[in-house]
Chains A and B, each alone.
Chain A
């Protein structure tokens, strides 16, 4: 059974750096074809894909956030970390990590298992 759980601060001040950790079980990020993504969802709005890291350590980022976001993995700890710099109130939302085994030639994926999400509020 695959599980993912997000952790990190619930409140961050504008201009600060946000660091979120996804701790997973039930799969290995050493397995070919597997990836973990970060996806966020502002209150009442649609999800937005942010970043994806693959089993071979390749990474893809949303162009709109590429300069502010970094995704890394610690395979032995079974964790994936998202760092977002210079946060703004528009970054407020629920942040999800998600697993995929459906990575396609474009480098994107459909996401078959999601964490419960963590609500992050950016406010002074």
Chain B
């Protein structure tokens, strides 16, 4: 089973700033089958990025994903108030699909 480690655990930033979230896999993620989700309190996760770098339908272009192998990055270029949430990465290149433990993005 692939273990995903996200860092930092918590990130405190101000609206307008940029954010960089990291997801590191314990072994190579096949074909960069890595997704990023955003979750707000009381809501289900929302798919942001799949295939490491493809934005899901309706996701603003301030969200971008990059990486391959074992190291992946989610970048939010200019934080909007609605972006403060918990972010999870998920690998689906091998069974079982696994999630990282999450990065909480807080308003500074």
Report A's interface with B, CB cutoff 8 A.
45-49, 60, 62-64, 96, 98, 102, 104, 106-117
Q: Nearest Cβ in chain A — how far from B92, in angstroms? A: 4
CA distance A98 to B97 in the complex (A): 14
Stretch at the interface among B14-22, B39-47, B77-85: B39-47
Q: Describe B's contact surface by its main secondary structure.
A: loop
The interface on chain B, measured as residues whose beta carbon lies within 8 A of the other chain's beta carbons, has a size of 28
Contact of B95 among A106, A115, A116, A117 (CB under 8 A): A106
The chain B residue sitting closest to A103, CB to CB, is B92
Most buried by A among B50, B97, B101, B102: B97
Known A48-B99, A110-B35; contact A104-B90, beta-carbon cutoff 8 A: no
A45 to B100, CA, bound (A): 10
Residues on B with C-beta less than 8 A from A98 are 44
Cβ B96 vs Cβ A49 within 8 A: yes
* Shortest distance from the beta carbon of A77 to any chain B beta carbon, whole Å: 22
Which B residues contact A (CB, under 8 angstroms)? 1, 30-31, 33, 35, 37, 43-47, 50-51, 56-57, 88, 90, 92-102
Given A46-B99, A46-B100, A47-B99, answer yes or no on A110-B44 (Cβ-Cβ < 8 Å): no
Q: Which among A48, A64, A104 has the greatest number of chain B C-beta atoms within 10 A?
A: A104
Partner of A109, one of B46, B56, B92: B92
With A46-B99, A108-B94, A108-B95 as given contacts, are A115 and B44 in contact (CB-CB < 8 Å)? yes
Residues of B within 8 A of A46 (CB): 88, 99-102
Measured CA separation A66–B37 after assembly (Å) = 25
Q: A102 CA to B98 CA in the complex, in Å?
A: 15
Question: What separation, in Å, do the CA atoms of A107 and B97 have in the docked complex?
Answer: 9
CB <8 Å contact, B99 and A49: yes
In the complex, what distance in Å separates the CA atom of A98 from the CA atom of B46? 10
| Complex interface: chain A residues within 8 A of B31 (CB) | 104
Q: Is the CB of B92 within 8 A of A108?
A: yes
Selected contact of A112 from candidates B30, B47, B93, B100, CB within 8 Å: B47
A47 in complex: contacting residue of B51, B88, B93, B94, CB < 8 Å: B88
